Amino acid sequence: MSAFASTAPARLATRLTFFAAGFAMACCAPLIPFIKQNVGANESQFGMLLLCFGLGSIFAMPVAGLLAARRGPRSMMLLGGFGLIIFLPTLAMAQSLWTLAMMLFIFGAALGTIDVSMNLHGAHLEVQEKRPLMSSFHAQFSIGGLSGAGLMTLLLSIGLSVTMSAIIGSVVTLVAIVPTVKRLLRVSTGPKSAFVWPHGIVLLLGALSAIMFLVEGAVLDWGALLIIERQLADPQSAGIGYILFSAAMVLARLTGDHIIRVLGEFWVLVVGGIMCIIGIAVILLSSAPLVALTGFLWLGLGAANLVPIFFSAAGRQKVMQPGLAIAAVTTTAYAGVLIGPAMLGFTADLTSLPIAFWLLTLLVAIVPVTAYWVVKN
């Protein structure tokens, strides 16, 4: 039996896990206005509640990485997956600020646990099969995200209750997770070890991942406002930028493994980083709305396969155990998501939103500049 055939069940299980994680996370977005109303939170209070979600993820990631390094990623993937299934409905059921804060922290911890461990599992498969796989795994996360947000929006629009909609979301997540139980690899990443601070190439990979997560967060949180400010579309249609960005990212990730095999990681990093810079420049410089909006396509196509390469590199580097390295990279990347958009807003307040996006291109330029060291590792 070929190596590819013997690991086919594990590949399927990994894709299902990535899909389930993206699906469960995205189910939250359409529920947010209703959850906010349930607990009677104002904007400031709800902002602090959402911070609990991020804190839960950041707290869980190093712990999950350490346990995955000792026991293998399978148990952590299942723990995180079933955590998402159990606690998704509790977000809709919470009736007080403190209860919701606790549920968001636990849900975030479950997402952080499954995120670290599924990337480690994917890195194991890449090593075994000796070919790129991470882009197709991350494509499933993106597809899961689009599916989760779409299903929740549909269920709420036909009049289903928030709680029942969340329960249905949990059931779909369960259907994706259950087949993985017997298909995931039973491996460990090495001898037992204590937590160590990230260093060497892992620090670089974490910083680069944080930059690219910041790009995604900037498009999600500030893209529509940039479109409105530049009068590229009316406010009701301003979400088209993120839709174009997401669609391009899914398409590029579905074909990313093949592209990486053909071009190599170095050129994907260089060309992808340059495409991101071109995309932002087109959005900021073009006065024709249709041309400017294509910048979001350039940005999505360029960014799509960069983070998967960083996770692959973290999984095969020799400076740290893979589980700890991927945990460090993931935690740093999530810090970019949490802190980055706020810093972008602060910069925009001091200068302007277009200038803040121009400064973002300087950060993205670090990706092609450091591509040699990422691949050399």
What are the residue ranges spanned by the domains of the chain?
A: 3-180, 201-376
Q: Which amino acid is at 186?
A: R
Measure the CA–CA gap between 87 and 167, rounded to whole angstroms.
10
Q: Do 340 and 220 contact (CB within 8 A), yes or no?
A: no
What confidence score (pLDDT) does residue 193 get? Answer: 55
Tokens of 273: 């980083």
Measure the CA–CA gap between 218 and 114, rounded to whole angstroms.
24
Q: Where are the alpha helices (DSSP H) in the chain?
A: 3-6, 8-39, 43-71, 73-93, 97-129, 134-157, 162-177, 201-229, 240-254, 256-263, 265-285, 289-303, 306-316, 322-350, 353-364, 366-369, 371-376
What confidence score (pLDDT) does residue 1 get? Answer: 47
Measure the CA–CA gap between 19 and 138, rounded to whole angstroms.
8
Q: What average pLDDT values come out for the chain (377 residues) when binned by 10 residues?
A: 71 95 87 84 77 87 84 92 96 91 94 92 87 92 87 88 94 96 77 64 93 87 84 79 87 93 95 97 93 94 95 88 83 79 82 92 96 89
Measure the CA–CA gap between 189 and 192, rounded to whole angstroms.
9
Measure the CA–CA gap between 212 and 365, rounded to whole angstroms.
11
What confidence score (pLDDT) does residue 33 get? Answer: 79
Note whether 3-180 and 201-376 share their fold: yes
Q: Do 321 and 69 contact (CB within 8 A), yes or no?
A: yes
What confidence score (pLDDT) does residue 280 get? Answer: 96
Compute the half-sphere exposure of residue 56: CA atoms within 13 Å on the CB side of its CA.
Answer: 25
| Domain 3-180 sits in CATH 1.20.1250.20 | yes
Q: How many residues belong to the chain?
A: 377
What confidence score (pLDDT) does residue 117 get? Answer: 92
What confidence score (pLDDT) does residue 52 get? Answer: 87
| Helix orientation angle between 240-254 and 201-229, rounded to the nearest 10 degrees | 140
Measure the CA–CA gap between 335 and 206, rounded to whole angstroms.
10
- Nearest CA among 76, 70, 78 for reference residue 189: 70
What confidence score (pLDDT) does residue 327 get? Answer: 81
Q: Which amino acid is at 98?
A: W
What confidence score (pLDDT) does residue 338 get? Answer: 74
CATH class of segment(s) 201-376: mainly alpha
Q: Do 7 and 167 contact (CB within 8 A), yes or no?
A: no
